[in-house]
Amino acid sequence: MGAWIKVGSIGDVGVGRARCVRVGGRKVVIFNEDGRLHAYNDYCTHVGGPLSQGSYE
């Protein structure tokens, strides 16, 4: 099981916004969806580009 790694404060990512951070050499995008934070690898498998430069639903 993975461990929690602090990459910032909850206020660093505004509602409806995204932020890209580096964690252990990997780019991770953090989305704030109505106050809920979601973290993903910053790579879109459909388009082959960074998720942090796109939009999400």
Per-residue pLDDT of the chain (57 residues; tens, 9 = 90+): 578 889 988 899 999 999 999 998 999 999 999 999 999 999 988 888 998 887 777
Q: How far is CA 32 from CA 1, 16, 22, 23, 49, in A?
A: 24, 5, 17, 18, 20
Distance CA 53, CA 2 (A): 26
pLDDT of residue 1: 56
Q: What are phi and psi of 53, to 5 degrees?
A: -100, 5
Which pTM value belongs to this model? 0.80
